[in-house]
Amino acid sequence: MKTIAIIGECMIELNGKPFGAMQQTYGGDTLNAAVYLSRSCETAAIEHPIKVCYVSALGSDPLSNGLKAHWNEEGVNTDLVLIDDKRTPGLYLIQLDEVGERTFLYWRDQSAAKYLLEHPDFKKIESRLYSAQMVFISGISLAILPDDDRNKLVALLHKLRAKGVEIAFDSNYRPALWPDDQLSTVKNIYSATYETTDLALVTFDDEHLIWGDRTPQATIERLHQSGVKKVVVKLGAQGCLTSESSSVDPILVSTQPVKNVVDTTSAGDSFNGGFLSAYLAGKSIKRSCHRGNALAGKVIQHPGAIIQRAHTNEITKTFK
């Protein structure tokens, strides 16, 4: 059995229209990916079982207990989730426009996950990460941490990679989490992270905002130069561009167009979950992208970060 440890934060989610009907659920980019990865492993009849572990911190309050119970129901292992008696989960609000695009408001300054690396038991978690086959983080995993803790996390990734743990990174850039004058900070910490990264699962729009890349090919070239071995650049409705070597032309993996886009909140996250379920089972990059594209295409036709299981079962059963 392969183990993937996914480090990040899950929050309470409110979605809907301001001063209108609101739905309460939960979400967070890495947790969303963990859930969709777990679902894909369940329904795709994968020959080699994959253990999906979430690494985070919650409070001891009823909401935290409810979150943990939901994750377990989704097949996500919570043995590496620490309990912080002084803090609670963060909160975010999704506002949707008429074409399904979203904006976010966050309340997470005192969330338990923000202080994960300062938890007195984090050393125990760290020691267990060395037995994983892959560790996955995102730009949001980095953004929520205090500066010193960001550097500690990147240093830990270096150590893990040196011991043979594969590192996967989705840059997932959210400007609202980084003050306007901190773009240089973003570049510095992302550059350091890419130096530890084996597999980059990035979105071209994010890379363009940060680095000014003019084309997806430019993103691929830059990431290979940073030491990234395998690169997947997500292109939305166009699918994704992939590369496993700087000496070979990138491959475009197209996707089926979606006519009824309702909510793009978890498009990239669900792609990551679908992709990683195939990748960790030994499928090719191209095959993994097909699964990620198909799952994301289904997810964006429904509201919320984590859609009903019945909807994703329709897709993942077809990608055995």
Helix (H) or strand (E) holding 242: strand 240-243
- Rounded distance between C-alpha atoms, residue 96 and residue 263, angstroms: 7
Helix (H) or strand (E) holding 289: helix 285-299
Cα→Cα distances 211→245, 265, 268, Å: 21, 23, 19
Catalytic-labelled residue, pool 84, 206, 213, 269: 269
Is 33 within 8 Å of 272 (Cβ atoms)?
yes
- Rounded distance between C-alpha atoms, residue 76 and residue 93, angstroms: 24
Nearest to 245 by CA among 257, 268, 228: 228
149 noted as active-site residue: no
- Rounded distance between C-alpha atoms, residue 204 and residue 199, angstroms: 15
- Enumerate the active-site residues: 269
